[in-house]
Chain A
Amino acid sequence: MSVRATSFAPAPALLALAAAVAFAGAWVAPGQESRPIAKADEGIEFDAIARARIARLSPLGAPPADPTNAFADDPRAAVLGHRLFFDTQLGGDSKISCAHCHDPERAFSDGKTLAEGVGRATRNAPGLINVAHQRWFFWDGRADSLWAQALQPIENPVEMAGDRVAVVHRLAADETLRREYEAIFGALPAREGWPRHARPDPKGGALDAAWSSMREADRERVDRVFANVGKALAAYQRKLVGGTSAFDRFARGLAQGDAAAIASLEPAAQRGLALFLGKGNCRTCHSGPLLSDGEFHDLQLRPFGGGERVDPARLAAIDLVLADPFNALGPHSDDRGPNASEHLRFLARGSELWGAIRTPTLRNVARTAPYMDQGQLPDLRAVLRFYSTREGAAPAGHHQESVLKPLELSDAEIADLEAFLLSLTDEPLDARWLEPPP
C-alpha cells in the first residue's frame, strides 16, 4: 500500500502546528512503507515498521472483561458451564450437546461445511478457542456477548432444538447441576404448573402458545435462569484461550532480541508473515492480537452449493441484535452502563452491510477446516487462492466496499502464507477443559 500525500494538505503554517501538537501520531509521515529483506534460508529481516506491526498482533493477552456477565470469571461458573457444554440433555433430542458441533478435538469446530445438529444449519460451526476475545458473535454478529450467543443454539430447531423452560427443568432434575447452579445463582424457581416445554417464537406454534400461557412473572424467572446458563457457558468458554503459538514465541523473540525464539517461526512462515503484513493486505481486516478487526465485510463469496446470494447477513443481524432481549442493554445484563453497551449504542445500520460476515480470527485456523461462513472452501490453499484470484466471487455491487482486489500470488507465496497460518496454532489447552467433566 503506497502512501500518497495527504489530500488537501494543510497550509505550511498549519502543518507546523500539526507537528507541534498532540495529533502528531495521527498525521501521515509520507513514504512510510515496510520493506522486509529476505535472507536466503534464514527467514526475514523485519524493519522497524514491520516490527511495530508485528507487535500489534502479539501477544494476545487476557480476554477483555465482560461487565454484562458478573460471573464471567467466576471459577464455579466455569465448572458449571463446562458441565453444561457437554450436557446432551440440554437440547431437545437428548443427544446433542454444544460439543456436538464444537468438538474439542477440532479446536471446537466440527469439520463440516454447514453445521449439523438436529438438522442442518445454514452456516458453518466456528471454532471456539479464543472466542472470549471477540466483539460480536455468530457469523453475522447477531449477539453482542458470549453469554447471549450461547443461548440461541439451544433453542434453534436445527441445532439443539431445545427450549428455555426445559432447560430449567433439566437443571432442577439433575442433582449436580442443581447444586452447582444454586451455589452460584441462588435457588431455582418453583415450577408448579409450568409446561414441560415452552419458548417464545415469533412464528407462533405450540411452544410459543405454551410460553404465552405462562404468567409473566414465571416467564421472567425462566429467562433469568436461561441467561444464567448462558453466563456459565460463557465463563467456561473464557477458559478456552491460547496465545501460545509459534508466531507468538517469534513475536516475543523479535521484541526481546531472542534469536532462539525468533527461530520458532520457520523461514517459510516468516516470508508468509512479510506477505501478510505487506503485499497480501491481510492485516487490513485480520488486525490486532486476535487477527480480526471484529467487523463485517462482504467477500462476495457464492453460497454453499452455488446459486444466488440471498443472505443479507450483517444487515439483517443489526435488527436482531438490537431486538435481542439478552443483549447488553436487556434486563439480564449485569451492566447496562455506557461502556458495557458501547457496541450497541453506536451501532450503524447501512445498506452496504448486506452480505457482510464477521472477520474470523486466524488463530488456530489450521484446525478448523473447512472455511468461510458456510464452509465453502475446503482448505487453506483454497482460501488463499480465492483471495489471490477472486475466482468464483459474485460481481460486486456499487454499494459494496472495494477492499478486495485479486492479489495475484505465486504458488510459492501461497505456500509461504499457508506456512504462516499454520504457525498460528496454539499449544494444547489445559486438558481438563477439553474432556467432558467427570
Chain B
Amino acid sequence: MDRARRPSLTPSSTAARGVRGIRAAWVLAALSASSLAAQVDDATDGAAGLARVNTKLGGCALTIPGLQEPTGVASLADGGWVIVESAGPRLCLFDAQGKRGASFGDQLLLEPRDVALLPSDAEGKLANGFVVSDMGRHALFVFAADGEHLATIGKRGAGDGCLNMPDGLDVAGGRIAVADTQNQRVALFDLRGGWLGAWGGPDELRAPTDVVFGAEGDCFVADGIGQRVLRLDPSGKQVAAFGTPGPNPGQFAGPTGVFWRAGLLHVVDRDNSRVQVFDAAGALDNWYGIHALRPREGDGKLHYPLRVALNADGSRAAVVEPVEGRMQVLGPVDPSLPVLAPLPALPPSHFGGAVDADGGLLVTAEPSIPRVQLWRMQDGEPIEITNFGTYGEGSGQMLWPADVALDARARRIYVADSGSARISVFDFRFEPSEETGFDPERARFVLQRDLSRGLDGKDAAQRIDPQGLWRDAEGGICVADPRNRAVWRFDAGLTKGERVATRADWLEPVDGCVGRVADAGATRAEDWVVDRLGGRVVSLHDGRTVAKGFRRPAAALFASNGVLLVSDSAADAILGVDLSGQRAEPIVLAQGPGLGPDQVTRPRGLAELAGGRFVAIDWANHRGVIRALDGKFQRAFGSRLFLVATFAAQTEKQAEPASTLGPAPRPAPFDAAAVPSSAPWHGTQRLISNDGRFAVFVRPTPDPIQERQTFSLEIFVTARAQPDVLLSGLDLRVDAAMPEHGHGINVVPKTTRLGDGHFRVEGTRLHMPGRWEVYVDLREGTRSERAQWTLELD
C-alpha cells in the first residue's frame, strides 16, 4: 500500500520508549532485509522447504486504541500513519507517537476500506496525496495531502472503469491497483483515473481482498476466499500461486492484507490471527501474531487483523484490527520475553455470522473453516449433534458458507456458499427421542444450485452472490445478493428461481426475514430485506421502509411477540423495534462491546427458538447467545474464553417444547419392474438420488470393492420415474469419504462418458478399512443431485 514514499525519518529509541502502550525497549537496530530473508534452511530432505521459523516481529511497540473500525493503513514519510476509519467514515493522520492529527473525507466516504499514498513526484496536488477505496460507494477517492478532495474514480458496475465493492489497493509506477472484490479482478487506473484494464477474473480469483506491487513490477493479490496469494507479472499474467486453506504454517483462513517490504511479502491471515511472511517465490519465512483471547488483549496478540503496513526498513509492522478498534505497531521481539507459540488451529468455537433455528434444532456456519454445525436444544442448551463441510468446489463442499436456513419439517439445511456462488441442501437423520451424541454421518448432501453464472448458468458476469438466505412464508428460499443489489426467490427444491425485485435505492441487501403485517383485518406474511449500508429493513412487498436508523444491520428477525429484532454490527447492539407502534424508541436487548452476559461484540445472525427465546451470534466473541425475547440472558455457547461455563452454571435447566421435526427422509418409491430385462443396467446395484430425481445403476470392477484396491465403476443413469431410458445432458463425478474419520479419498476418479446416461469412472480407491460413503454426483445444467451408498470394508 505504501511504496511511493521513502520515509526518511527513523524512529529514535528515546522517543519510542516514552510512548503509551510500549511493551519493551524499542530496539533501534532494525533487522536488515537480508537477515530476515536468510531463514530458509537449505539442508532439507529434498525440497520439502522446511523453514526454520523465527518470528522477528511481535513485540508491541505502540498501540493506538479508540479507532472507529480501522480497515486500512499506510506508513508516512515522517514515521506516522494514515489510517482508514471505516465507521468514521474518514481518513485520519497519526504521528509516530500515535497522536491523532487531521482527519478528512467524512463528507464523501460511506465505507472506506484501504488507503495508498500517491508519489511525491506526482503532478500538482496529487503529490503526496492519498487514494482511498470505498466499498459502499464503489469508487476510489483521491485526496491531496491537505485533505482536499481532488477526484473520484470509478462507479458501480462490471465493465471497464467500473468497480463493485472495491477493497485493498496499492499505487506504484503511476498505476493504482485495487482489489475489485465482486468483479473478481484487480482493476487498474492511472493516477488521473484513466482506465488501464483489469487482471484476474472469475477463473483465477474468488474474492480478491488486497493487492500490492512487489519488486520489478510484479503484483501480489490476496484471495480471501480462494485462500491463496497470486503473483502476477507486470502484464498481469499469473506466474505463481501459494497457500492452501487451513490453520498450519503457509496455509490461510481468509487472507485480507498484503504488503511488500525489503524483499518479503507480509500476508495478513485474518481468521488465523497472524501475519505470515513469505519470500517472492512463496516460501514461508516467518510469522508473527497470535490469537488474542480476551477482549482488548493486545501486546502483539491479534484479533481479526485486517491489514499491515511496514515502515521503510521493515522493522515495524502496523497492524489494524477493526473489531478491536485499534492499531498495533509491532517491533522486534524482546529477547527477554518468553516466546509465544502461535496457536496452530482456530479455537473450536469460532462461529460465522449465520444461524437458524426450527423444530428444536439449531444450525450455525463458520465460513473460514468451513463448517456447518447442527445442534439440538436440550434443557435450554444447544448440544452439537453433527457437523459437515469440507473446503472445495465439488458437490457438497463449500468455500465460504455465509448463511444457513433450517427446515425442520423437511429435515433440510440450506447453505448459501458465497465463495462458490451456490446454494447447497443437506438433509439429516435425527430422532428427538434419541439420547443423542455427536454423529459425523448424521447429515448428507442432497442437491445444489450453481449461481456462479447467473440464474441460467450462462454468463459469469451475471454471478449471484448469495450472502443471505431465509425461508419465506410459502417454504421457498430467498437469497440476498449484494453483488447485484437483488433478492432472488427459489422453490424448496431449487429447480425454479426468479429475481424478486431490484431497487436501485438498496445499498447492500445482506439478509432478510419473514415479517407479518395486518392487512384488512387479517395478518399477511411478507419478506423483509436487511439493507446493511442503508441502515434499514425494507419490505420486499412494496418497498416501504419497515425500520431504519441502524448503523450496519447484519440480520433481522420478526419475532412472534411482534417485535422486529435487528443485530446492528457496527453499533455492537441487538435492538428491538416494536412494530405495533406502542414504543417509538428501539429497545436495547444487548449492548457492547464486551463479553458480559448483557453485552455483544459485532453481533450477526438471529433466529427465534420455541418458548419465547431467540439465539444471536455474538460474532467477535465467538459465541452464540440465547436470550428471552425481552432480552434476558439465558445461556451462551462456544466462546473466546471460558466465561461461558460461569454463565451457564447460573442457568437453570429448561424444558424444551415438543419438537416439530418432520419424519425422517425416505427413499423415493421406485418401480423395479419398469427396468426392462434387456437393459444393460438390469440387475445391477441401484441407487435413488437423495432428492429422488435420478435412478443410478452401478457396476463395480472388481466386485466386490476391496480395501486399498483401485476399482472402476460402470454407471447408468435414468430418471427415477422413467428407468427404461438413459438420460442425456448429464455430468457425473464420483467421490468418497469416511465421515467418521473426517477425510475423503486421496485420488480424483476420472469419468469417461460412454453415451447418454452411461459412464465409466476409473481410479477410485478406498485406502482404509471402515465405513465409507461413495458418492455419485449428477449435474444437470445448474442443478446437481447426489446418489450415494455406504459400504463397510473390513
Q: Which residues of A contact B (CB under 8 A)?
A: 1, 3-4, 6-8, 10-11, 13-14, 17-18, 21-28, 32, 49, 52-53, 115, 119-123, 138-140, 142, 152, 156-158, 202-203, 283-285, 287-288, 293-296, 307-313, 315-317, 320, 342, 345-348, 350-355, 394-403
Q: How far is the CB of A133 from chain B (nearest CB, A)?
A: 12
Q: How far is the CA of A310 from the CA of B278 in the complex (A)?
A: 13
Q: Which of B244, B429, B686, B742 contacts A315 (CB 8 A)?
A: B244
**Interface pick from B46-54, B108-116, B553-561, B604-612:** B46-54
B686 and A352 contact, CB distance less than 8 A: no
Q: Which of A123, A287, A308 contacts B45 (CB 8 A)?
A: A123
B768 and A293 contact, CB distance less than 8 A: yes
A395 and B249 contact, CB distance less than 8 A: no
Question: What residue of chain A has the Cβ atom nearest to residue B346's Cβ?
Answer: A398
Q: Which of A17, A120, A309 contacts B672 (CB 8 A)?
A: A17
Q: How far is the CB of B746 from chain A (nearest CB, A)?
A: 5
Contact with A along B81-124 (1 / 0, CB 8 A): 00000000000000000000000000000000000000000000
Q: How far is the CA of A334 from the CA of B788 in the complex (A)?
A: 39
Q: How far is the CA of A123 from the CA of B46 in the complex (A)?
A: 10
Q: Which of B42, B46, B246, B683 contacts A352 (CB 8 A)?
A: B246
Q: How far is the CA of A17 from the CA of B685 in the complex (A)?
A: 8
**Best-buried of B248, B346, B391 by chain A (most CB within 10 Å):** B248
In the bound complex, residues from chain A placing their C-beta under 8 Å from that of B391 are: 351, 399
Q: Which of A53, A346, A402 contacts B765 (CB 8 A)?
A: A346
Q: How far is the CA of A427 from the CA of B249 in the complex (A)?
A: 44
A11 and B667 contact, CB distance less than 8 A: yes
A355 and B703 contact, CB distance less than 8 A: no
B747 and A294 contact, CB distance less than 8 A: no
Is B749 interfacial (CB 8 A cutoff)? yes
Question: What residue of chain A has the Cβ atom nearest to residue B763's Cβ?
Answer: A346
Q: Which of A120, A142, A312 contacts B250 (CB 8 A)?
A: A312
**CB<8 Å pairs between A and B, sample of 8:** A8-B690, A8-B788, A22-B685, A28-B792, A157-B43, A158-B44, A354-B250, A402-B742
Instruction: Classify the secondary structure of A's interface with B.
Output: loop
In the A-B complex, the 6 residue pairs with the smallest Cβ-Cβ separation, listed nearest first, are A25-B704, A346-B763, A351-B244, A346-B747, A397-B345, A401-B743
Q: How far is the CB of B592 from chain A (nearest CB, A)?
A: 27
Is B159 interfacial (CB 8 A cutoff)? no
Question: What residue of chain A has the Cβ atom nearest to residue B443's Cβ?
Answer: A7
Question: What residue of chain B has the Cβ atom nearest to residue A49's Cβ?
Answer: B794
A354 and B246 contact, CB distance less than 8 A: yes
Q: How far is the CA of A307 from the CA of B342 in the complex (A)?
A: 11
A140 and B48 contact, CB distance less than 8 A: yes
A13 and B45 contact, CB distance less than 8 A: no
Q: How far is the CA of A22 from the CA of B768 in the complex (A)?
A: 22
Would A14 and B667 be within 8 Å (CB), given that A27-B791, A312-B48 are in contact? yes
Interface residues of B in 741-760 (CB under 8 A from A): 741-750
Q: How far is the CA of A355 from the CA of B710 in the complex (A)?
A: 25
B747 and A403 contact, CB distance less than 8 A: no
B765 and A313 contact, CB distance less than 8 A: no
A23 and B747 contact, CB distance less than 8 A: no
Is B245 interfacial (CB 8 A cutoff)? yes
Contact with A along B554-587 (1 / 0, CB 8 A): 0000000000000000000000000000000000
Question: What residue of chain B has the Cβ atom nearest to residue A159's Cβ?
Answer: B45
Q: How far is the CB of B714 from chain A (nearest CB, A)?
A: 12
A398 and B247 contact, CB distance less than 8 A: yes
B768 and A287 contact, CB distance less than 8 A: yes
Q: How far is the CA of A277 from the CA of B133 in the complex (A)?
A: 61
Q: How far is the CB of A31 from chain B (nearest CB, A)?
A: 11
A398 and B250 contact, CB distance less than 8 A: no
Would A309 and B249 be within 8 Å (CB), given that A26-B791, A347-B747 are in contact? yes
Q: A17-B686, A122-B43 are in contact. List 6 more A-B contacts (CB 8 A).
A: A14-B670, A121-B43, A121-B45, A288-B708, A311-B50, A346-B749
Q: Which residues of B contact A (CB under 8 A)?
A: 41-53, 227, 244-251, 284, 341-346, 348, 369, 371, 390-392, 429, 441-442, 444, 665-667, 670, 672, 683-686, 688, 690, 699-700, 703-705, 707-708, 710, 741-750, 762-765, 767-771, 773, 788, 790-792, 794
B703 and A22 contact, CB distance less than 8 A: yes
In the bound complex, residues from chain B placing their C-beta under 8 Å from that of A52 are: 794
Question: What residue of chain A has the Cβ atom nearest to residue B772's Cβ?
Answer: A26
Q: Which of B48, B666, B670 contacts A317 (CB 8 A)?
A: B48
Question: What residue of chain B has the Cβ atom nearest to residue A156's Cβ?
Answer: B46
In the bound complex, residues from chain B placing their C-beta under 8 Å from that of A402 are: 741-742
In the bound complex, residues from chain A placing their C-beta under 8 Å from that of B246 are: 351-352, 354, 397, 399
Q: How far is the CB of A45 from chain B (nearest CB, A)?
A: 19
Q: Which of A294, A351, A396 contacts B345 (CB 8 A)?
A: A396
Q: How far is the CB of A7 from chain B (nearest CB, A)?
A: 5
Q: How far is the CA of A24 from the CA of B344 in the complex (A)?
A: 44
A6 and B790 contact, CB distance less than 8 A: yes
Q: How far is the CB of A57 from chain B (nearest CB, A)?
A: 11
In the bound complex, residues from chain A placing their C-beta under 8 Å from that of B768 are: 284-285, 287, 293, 295
Q: How far is the CA of A26 from the CA of B749 in the complex (A)?
A: 19
Would A398 and B746 be within 8 Å (CB), given that A14-B667, A121-B45, A293-B708 are in contact? no
Q: How far is the CB of B708 from chain A (nearest CB, A)?
A: 6
A313 and B48 contact, CB distance less than 8 A: yes
Q: Which of A142, A284, A345 contacts B46 (CB 8 A)?
A: A142
B684 and A308 contact, CB distance less than 8 A: no
A284 and B769 contact, CB distance less than 8 A: yes
Question: What residue of chain A has the Cβ atom nearest to residue B51's Cβ?
Answer: A310
Would A308 and B46 be within 8 Å (CB), given that A21-B683, A283-B769, A294-B767 are in contact? no
Q: How far is the CA of A7 from the CA of B749 in the complex (A)?
A: 24
Q: How far is the CA of A283 from the CA of B791 in the complex (A)?
A: 18
B745 and A320 contact, CB distance less than 8 A: no
B342 and A308 contact, CB distance less than 8 A: yes
In the bound complex, residues from chain A placing their C-beta under 8 Å from that of B49 are: 312, 316
A397 and B248 contact, CB distance less than 8 A: yes
A28 and B790 contact, CB distance less than 8 A: yes
B251 and A351 contact, CB distance less than 8 A: yes
Q: Which of B42, B684, B686, B773 contacts A14 (CB 8 A)?
A: B686
In the bound complex, residues from chain B placing their C-beta under 8 Å from that of A115 are: 45
Q: How far is the CA of A394 from the CA of B344 in the complex (A)?
A: 8
In the bound complex, residues from chain B placing their C-beta under 8 Å from that of A308 are: 53, 249, 341-342, 344
Q: How far is the CB of A374 from chain B (nearest CB, A)?
A: 9
In the bound complex, residues from chain B placing their C-beta under 8 Å from that of A32 are: 792, 794
B345 and A398 contact, CB distance less than 8 A: yes
Would A139 and B45 be within 8 Å (CB), given that A296-B746, A398-B346 are in contact? yes
Would A119 and B43 be within 8 Å (CB), given that A346-B749, A354-B251 are in contact? yes
